[in-house]
Chain A
């Protein structure tokens, strides 16, 4: 029996082999005790401020909203140490690992942002770190692989299944089921078996808490819509949580539309998935008729995941948040426009959220809205992917079609 609620409506739970239940219970207990311990909270806070660089700024776009009546604010998690919001919760879980007396850390990573965050936290806190990463992701996110290695982590490529994030998740759980006595599984998003969805949300909720204070101080009012990209869903839940009680604030999660929902090649789990059980939880899941898990597609490795955190599935069911797809193409265009207009190179993941905001502002330029976008990470890791994508696009648009 769990001490904290393990379910969000019908979603969540602990669907793992029995052997992992004691490790999950130990983690839940450590989390409850740590949250009640002022010493833990102040150490976490100190690391967030002095090491990671919190609070992150709130930037109002000077140029992107031109020609519309709207205002666009960006929460700058891209400026956090490590280059993405991932660093927040990794510091929290790193401290928890130490508190439980664990000496090793296991992690899975897609884009490599969580892997990098884990590697730096482990370097800082003196933990031994190994990161499972899909072999395909190792290839398309090579800058992050170098960074992890430089930070002292071991990167283990996973070639089973689709060789992406979902397979790295499986492999991390397999490892943990043999090593739980000395290793903490530092799960990278607000998904997986209880208590991770709750724990990761609590260690990411400062994104929304800060944003809410900042935008109120700056403008005197709350935003009309809060927008964040959703892969597993940690930056989005970290942003949404502070606004869930504000009924007039619309919550929009932006999923990977990939090549378009009709193509079947996407990562829009909340829009196209059915309830299922995978990666330790009941949630929305991309699956075939028999229940085999399908491979997702996104140019952005961090959104390339066939399931989603259970709380998002719940927020969607109760109508508190809604979820929209943005395709690879539109996301890349958003990334390029943000770069040229505001001098910010966003991560491909975050560019999905930016692109949605741009579409929304321009759909009805006379409509005056205040939009808050979580710019969850910076795009240095994606420059080769984006460059390759744009070249291909250019080639296919030239007369005579794609060059050989």
Chain B
């Protein structure tokens, strides 16, 4: 079993779904980023989804764009980010850690070298936001040889052919989009996803985590009810960091409160 499988098995036993916070590595700088990630882990985050800052994040809304731009302005490089991941991995050997990437950062280093570096830093999975299933061959091959899995986006408009491809190629979890558009808490999660969830399960795809527009505890409960295996929450996390970025302690405590509220909403309600 890999770390995701062990996490999902443990959650099933505990009667919960996963709460996975997302943040931008190195935002607003490496020190605060590390402290705040640790605060979220200490408050019960089940896994992490972490973005390496990119100049042109076209799948992201204004909040995450701003965080990525700030990290780049602070001089954060992809290597800095991987070293940060490595430190987190040393302290949390069981925590599933996924990276959210844009293709050019992978391509610029060469997929083989990039994925080996990920593996060396203890990364479990990589999702490349602008590499759709039909373009994923080369990346997938290199990732697998390096021992890193690939996570794929499952949008509400996916068709049967691509759902099958996703079931075949996906590793760890399936990033289920609650709605169209880009990341951000401005537009709340949308349409019921129960039908897609059911079909993904029949096809044997990795368990779905619901993302895009998730910012409130009641959405975690709703996602569990729809059959999702958990939620991913990014823009809301960044908003909490943006509120008072210079007060490290205040943000840590606010993140802790938020993560605990989301985790406590993650219990199954037996129906």
Could you mark each residue 125-150 of chain B with 1 if its beta carbon is under 8 Å from any beta carbon of chain A, else 0?
A: 00001111111000000000000000
How far, in angstroms, from A121 to B155 measured CA to CA in the complex? 32
**CB-based contact A15/B130 at 8 Å:** yes
**CB-based contact A18/B132 at 8 Å:** yes
How far, in angstroms, from A13 to B69 measured CA to CA in the complex? 27
Q: Quick check: is A206 within 8 A (CB to CB) of the other chain?
A: no
Q: Quick check: is B22 within 8 A (CB to CB) of the other chain?
A: no
B64 to chain A, nearest CB (A): 11
A/B interface sample: 27 pairs, CB < 8 A: A14-B134, A15-B103, A15-B130, A15-B132, A17-B129, A17-B130, A17-B132, A18-B152, A18-B162, A19-B155, A19-B180, A22-B157, A22-B159, A161-B55, A173-B58, A177-B180, A177-B182, A179-B180, A277-B107, A282-B107, A289-B108, A290-B77, A290-B105, A290-B109, A291-B107, A292-B55, A293-B55
How many of A's residues come within 8 Å of B, CB to CB? Answer: 38
Residues of chain A within 8 A (CB-CB) of B72 are 292
Residues of chain A within 8 A (CB-CB) of B62 are 160
Q: Quick check: is A68 within 8 A (CB to CB) of the other chain?
A: no
B111 to chain A, nearest CB (A): 11
Could you mark each residue 245-289 of chain A with 1 if its beta carbon is under 8 Å from any beta carbon of chain B, else 0?
A: 000000000000000000000000000001111111010010101
**CB-based contact B132/A16 at 8 Å:** yes
Q: Which of B54, B102, B156, B162 contacts A21 (CB 8 A)?
A: B162
Interface residues of chain A, those whose CB is within 8 Å of chain B, are: 1-2, 13-22, 160-161, 166-167, 170, 173-174, 177-180, 274-280, 282, 285, 287, 289-293
Residues of chain B within 8 A (CB-CB) of A275 are 107
Residues of chain A within 8 A (CB-CB) of B129 are 17
**CB-based contact B132/A21 at 8 Å:** yes
**CB-based contact A178/B180 at 8 Å:** yes
**CB-based contact A277/B61 at 8 Å:** no
Interface residues of chain B, those whose CB is within 8 Å of chain A, are: 54-59, 61-62, 65, 69, 72, 77-78, 102-109, 129-135, 152-159, 162, 177, 180-182, 187
How far, in angstroms, from A1 to B137 measured CA to CA in the complex? 12
Please list the 10 inter-chain residue pairs (A to B) with the smallest Cβ-Cβ separation, ordered nearest first. A291-B108, A178-B181, A19-B155, A277-B103, A292-B55, A18-B132, A291-B105, A18-B153, A291-B104, A293-B55
Q: Which of B132, B152, B162, B182 contacts A174 (CB 8 A)?
A: B182
Residues of chain B within 8 A (CB-CB) of A22 are 157, 159
**CB-based contact A177/B108 at 8 Å:** no
A260 to chain B, nearest CB (A): 23
Residues of chain A within 8 A (CB-CB) of B157 are 19, 22
Residues of chain A within 8 A (CB-CB) of B154 are 18
**CB-based contact A18/B135 at 8 Å:** no
With A15-B135, A17-B153 known, 12 other A-B pairs at CB within 8 A are: A14-B135, A15-B103, A17-B59, A18-B152, A19-B155, A19-B177, A20-B132, A174-B61, A177-B59, A277-B104, A282-B107, A291-B106
How far, in angstroms, from A280 to B130 measured CA to CA in the complex? 7
Residues of chain B within 8 A (CB-CB) of A15 are 103, 130-132, 135
How far, in angstroms, from A76 to B174 measured CA to CA in the complex? 53
**CB-based contact A290/B135 at 8 Å:** no
Could you tell me the dominant secondary structure of chain B's interface residues? loop
B164 to chain A, nearest CB (A): 13
A7 to chain B, nearest CB (A): 10
How far, in angstroms, from A287 to B103 measured CA to CA in the complex? 13
Closest to B77 in A: A290
How far, in angstroms, from A222 to B231 measured CA to CA in the complex? 63
**CB-based contact B181/A13 at 8 Å:** no
How far, in angstroms, from A20 to B104 measured CA to CA in the complex? 18
How far, in angstroms, from A291 to B52 measured CA to CA in the complex? 12
Residues of chain A within 8 A (CB-CB) of B59 are 17, 174, 177
A386 to chain B, nearest CB (A): 30
Closest to B177 in A: A19
Closest to B156 in A: A19
B209 to chain A, nearest CB (A): 15
Residues of chain A within 8 A (CB-CB) of B77 are 290
How far, in angstroms, from A177 to B199 measured CA to CA in the complex? 23
Residues of chain A within 8 A (CB-CB) of B61 are 174
**CB-based contact A16/B130 at 8 Å:** yes
How far, in angstroms, from A22 to B72 measured CA to CA in the complex? 33
**Known: A15-B103, A161-B56, A287-B108. Contact between A1 and B180, CB under 8 A?**
no
Which residue, of B72, B104, B157, has the highest number of chain A Cβ atoms within 10 A? B104
Residues of chain B within 8 A (CB-CB) of A17 are 58-59, 129-130, 132, 153, 155
How far, in angstroms, from A285 to B108 measured CA to CA in the complex? 10
Residues of chain B within 8 A (CB-CB) of A292 are 54-55, 72, 105
Q: Which of B58, B130, B153, B180 contacts A180 (CB 8 A)?
A: B180
**CB-based contact A18/B104 at 8 Å:** no
Q: Which of A16, A160, A180, A291 contacts B65 (CB 8 A)?
A: A160
Residues of chain A within 8 A (CB-CB) of B181 are 19, 174, 177-178
Residues of chain A within 8 A (CB-CB) of B156 are 19
**CB-based contact A276/B58 at 8 Å:** no
**CB-based contact B108/A18 at 8 Å:** no
**CB-based contact A13/B104 at 8 Å:** no
Closest to B152 in A: A18
Closest to B61 in A: A174
Q: Which of A1, A2, A170, A276 contacts B107 (CB 8 A)?
A: A276
How far, in angstroms, from A16 to B69 measured CA to CA in the complex? 20
Closest to A276 in B: B104
**CB-based contact A18/B133 at 8 Å:** yes
How far, in angstroms, from A189 to B77 measured CA to CA in the complex? 32
Closest to A170 in B: B58
How far, in angstroms, from A167 to B135 measured CA to CA in the complex? 24
Which residue, of A19, A161, A276, A287, has the highest number of chain B Cβ atoms within 10 A? A19
Residues of chain B within 8 A (CB-CB) of A277 are 102-104, 107, 130
A157 to chain B, nearest CB (A): 14
Residues of chain A within 8 A (CB-CB) of B57 are 170
